[in-house]
Amino acid sequence: MLFNSFTYLVFLPIVVLLYWLLPERFRTTLLLVASYIFYMNWMPAYGLLILALTLVNYAIGIAIDKHREKSKTLLTVGLVFNLGCLCFFKYANFLADSVVQSVNWITHSTGAQSATLQSPALKIILPLGISFFTFEFIHYITDIYRGHKPVKNIRDFALFAAFFPSQIAGPIKRFQDFVHQLEEKIVFKFQNFSDGLFLIFQGLFKKIVLGDNLGAVVNTGFSHIDKLGMLDAWIAVAGFTFQIFFDFAGYTDIGRGSALLFGYKVPENFNLPFLAANLTDFWRRWHMSLSTWLRDYLFIPLGGSRGGAWKVRRNVFITMVLGGLWHGAAWHYVIWGAFHGMGLVLSKEWHDLVTKFRPLHACAHIRSGTAPG
């Protein structure tokens, strides 16, 4: 079910109405049922996948907390299970294609074989939102391993995993923030309702009016590259940067707005990213729930900012390459991630350089209109 579809336009008011009419003790169950209907509306069988992942991660969370002496092994099992599911559904085709292409390239370049191998047609349909809810599960079991208490109520945990306003494309929630809200008494507030509607309409405007219209312009450019002039190419490229912002920020607004209609808050994902002072600042403002996830569960375990300059830059680069791969199972996403990793490393080098040479540092601040630190 898409947020910008007629079905959602009918589905959301019904669920909101039922939610506020029902006695409080039934509301979490209603949201859980609604979330599964929302997800299974697309492909019913994949409802079982999210259910299975929920049950396994719930059990692992409890087991880690109960058997602290074996927590590392249990965490490893959990990580392998979650990443295994993600790899199978998302990267199996990509891996198979890459292996076949590599074998073909090697055999052709050595002249060992004249026939070309064909990629196996693995008919795996990517479950919607798997990249997002898998990351939420990894966050959950890792935080339990790090000492947090697991969620005891399986219904609350299942809703954390399946909550429909953030199920398909985030924001990637933290269980401490979300489950805490489930435990509190939620009362109807006109302010929440009003803010929620504001976010939903703002999101629809961003997505449908700005994002989709920009998409049409961008598609014209990218599908007729040979006919493009210089300004055409610039508008198509700049248009895509803003299209993806309006598309994703629109989605996030609708999701956050929908959650507010039930009285729940999900994290923000964007904070005026195009006003960022540099690339590091950009990643603090863009897709913030993913950036903080990558920082907490990839960059820091890799070593984070500990160690020498070389190690820190290596960690940043690896984090961004894997972040790129997370976005899609294709080489251009990996290169996109590497490009950002390289940009972040160079941005850090530049910052170190201007800090070293104070006069140049002051000059840079005068140009950007900020006070030197």
- Residues annotated as catalytic (active site), given as ranges: 327
Residue 259 structure tokens: 């959650």
Could you say which of 47, 165, 239, 263 contacts another protein (CB under 8 A)?
Answer: 239
Q: Does 331 bind another protein (CB under 8 A)?
A: yes
Could you tell me how many residues of this chain bind another protein (CB under 8 A)?
77
- HEC sequence for 227-294: HCCHHHHHHHHHHHHHHHHHHHHHHHHHHHHHHHHCCCCCCCCCCCHHHCCCHHHHHHHCCHHHHHHH
Q: What residues between 334 and 353 interact with another protein by CB under 8 A?
A: 335-336, 339-340, 343
What amino acid is encoded at 57 in this protein?
N
Q: Does 3 bind another protein (CB under 8 A)?
A: yes
Is residue 311 within 8 Å of residue 287, measured between CB atoms? no
Query: How deeply is 162 buried, as exposed, middle or buried, from its count of CB atoms within 10 A (0-12, 13-18, 19+)?
Result: buried
Q: Does 270 bind another protein (CB under 8 A)?
A: no
Q: Does 49 bind another protein (CB under 8 A)?
A: no
Q: Does 293 bind another protein (CB under 8 A)?
A: no
Residue 215 structure tokens: 């998409």
Q: Does 227 bind another protein (CB under 8 A)?
A: yes
Is residue 131 within 8 Å of residue 90, measured between CB atoms? yes
Contacting residues for 74 by C-beta, under 8 A, at least 6 apart: 60, 63, 64, 67, 145
CB-nearer residue toward another protein: 280 or 311: 280
In the chain the first and final C-alpha atoms are separated, in Å, by 49
Could you say which of 14, 117, 277, 366 contacts another protein (CB under 8 A)?
Answer: 277
Closest CA to 170 of 269, 28, 294, 297: 269
Q: Is 186 helix (H, G, I), strand (E, B) or coil?
A: coil
Closest CA to 154 of 175, 169, 172, 139: 175
Q: What's the min distance (Å) between Cβ of 71 and another protein?
A: 30
Q: Does 20 bind another protein (CB under 8 A)?
A: no
Q: Does 136 bind another protein (CB under 8 A)?
A: no
Q: What's the min distance (Å) between Cβ of 153 and another protein?
A: 30
Q: What's the min distance (Å) between Cβ of 353 and another protein?
A: 15
Q: Does 79 bind another protein (CB under 8 A)?
A: no
Q: Does 51 bind another protein (CB under 8 A)?
A: no
Could you say which of 8, 20, 91, 205 contacts another protein (CB under 8 A)?
Answer: 205
Q: What residues between 83 and 112 interact with another protein by CB under 8 A?
A: none
Q: What's the min distance (Å) between Cβ of 65 and another protein?
A: 31
Q: Does 204 bind another protein (CB under 8 A)?
A: yes
Q: What's the min distance (Å) between Cβ of 9 and another protein?
A: 10
